[in-house]
């Protein structure tokens, strides 16, 4: 039984879902105080992620920053933090891993005055949680170095947890508020707010770059979206070292597809500078919303999980973030 006497929201598939959603995470909310006036790019998640990586290299690299040929690559702290090693590597994963964290920033302002606040969320999954202090020090160093073309400086005003309990303020750190949960905890919480008998809206807060069966998606179709959420859960379970069939079972999303009623879609381009490629790159994706009907408990649970863990490509840059609501 759940709280308030509610029946188990997962129904018959409770055990399967609870097994595949036992992924550890912590969500940290950073509030930065900008200390000088200037401009910042519209899309800031990529900027913050790139700056964090540069600071980690500056503070921890014992060679020349060229990771591909480094003789310390197997034990490199930066590699472990930026491109987390998979305990179990799925056959379909061919690129560098970055499954241990997600950075979210929805602030689109381009001009900041001294004293203005820039806030963002930083999510850590699995073993990446133990590197919290190193990530924190990287953001502290980034504030001194400055962000954006104008190198705007900032200070970390405070850090709170997912319940907005104060975790860090000034030099005070409240360790008892460093609360680690599971994806399943989050899904239970969200399902108490949702109703499988009503229409729902899936509102994408950041660009979605989603490839399904060899094709990049140009619209919000239920099957690719649910499949992406299930696939991301699978990857994070592999990151945690959990074996399919022994520790969890995968979900057949084709058996739980809602109907799409309508949608609004537009293309978004996100420009960033890649220090590894030493060039400007452009990420593309779709934003907007879709309205779904007939989502059962399984579909709602998958969608709720995807809310937290993000779906599609470039999730560490904040891509694939959405919010579901009942309409």
Q: Which fold has domain 25-177?
A: Alpha-Beta Plaits (3.30.70)
Residue 285 pairs in a beta bridge with 268
**Do 10-23+184-326 and 25-177 come out as alike in CATH topology?**
yes
Residue whose entry in the numeric block shows the structure tokens 């859960």 = 233
- Averages of pLDDT over each 10 residues, the chain, 327 residues: 37 62 97 97 92 93 82 86 89 79 95 97 96 96 95 97 93 94 95 85 96 95 97 96 93 95 94 68 93 94 96 93 93
Task: Output the six-digit token pair for 132.
Answer: 């919290």
Bridge partner list, 169: 158, 172
- Measured CA to CA, the distance from residue 213 to residue 105 in angstroms comes to 30
Domain borders along the chain are: 10-23+184-326, 25-177
DSSP assignment string, 105-152: ------EE-TT-EEEEEEEEEGGGGGGHHHHHHHHHHHHHH-BTTTTB
Task: For domain 10-23+184-326, give its CATH number from 3.30.70.1900, 3.90.199.10, 3.40.50.300, 3.30.428.10.
Answer: 3.30.70.1900
- Please give the full DSSP string across 254-277, using - where no structure is assigned: GGGPPEEEEEEEEEEEEEEEETTT
Nearest in space to 129 (alpha carbons), one of 28, 59, 50, 25: 25
The CA distance from 211 to 54, in Å, is: 29
């Amino acid at each position: 039984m759940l709280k308030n006497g509610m029946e188990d929201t997962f129904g018959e598939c409770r055990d399967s879902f609870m097994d595949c959603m036992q992924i550890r995470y912590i969500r940290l909310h950073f509030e930065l105080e900008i200390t000088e006036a200037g401009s910042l790019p519209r899309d800031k998640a990529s900027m913050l992620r790139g700056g964090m990586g540069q600071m980690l290299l500056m503070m921890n690299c014992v060679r020349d920053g060229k990771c591909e040929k480094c003789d310390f690559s197997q034990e490199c702290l930066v590699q472990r933090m930026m491109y987390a090693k998979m305990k179990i590597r799925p056959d379909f994963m061919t690129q560098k891993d970055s499954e241990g964290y997600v950075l979210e920033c929805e602030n689109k302002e381009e001009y900041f005055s001294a004293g203005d606040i820039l806030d963002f969320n930083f999510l850590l999954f699995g073993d990446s949680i133990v590197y919290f202090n190193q990530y924190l020090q990287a953001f502290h160093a980034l504030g001194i170095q400055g962000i954006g073309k104008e190198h705007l400086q900032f200070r970390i005003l405070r850090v709170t947890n997912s319940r907005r309990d104060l975790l860090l303020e000034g030099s005070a750190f409240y360790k008892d508020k460093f609360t680690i949960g599971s994806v399943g905890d989050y899904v239970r919480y969200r399902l108490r707010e949702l109703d499988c008998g009503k229409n729902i809206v899936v509102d994408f807060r950041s660009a979605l770059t989603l490839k399904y069966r060899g094709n990049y998606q140009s619209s919000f179709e239920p099957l690719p979206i649910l499949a992406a959420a299930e696939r991301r859960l699978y990857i994070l379970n592999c990151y945690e070292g959990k074996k399919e069939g022994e520790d969890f079972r995968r979900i057949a999303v084709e058996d739980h597809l809602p109907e799409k009623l309508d949608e609004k879609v537009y293309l978004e381009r996100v420009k960033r500078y890649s220090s590894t490629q030493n060039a400007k790159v452009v990420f593309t994706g779709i934003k907007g919303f879709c309205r779904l009907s007939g989502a059962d408990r399984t579909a709602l649970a998958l969608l709720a999980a995807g809310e937290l863990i993000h779906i599609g490509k470039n999730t560490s840059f904040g891509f694939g973030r959405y919010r579901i609501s009942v309409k």
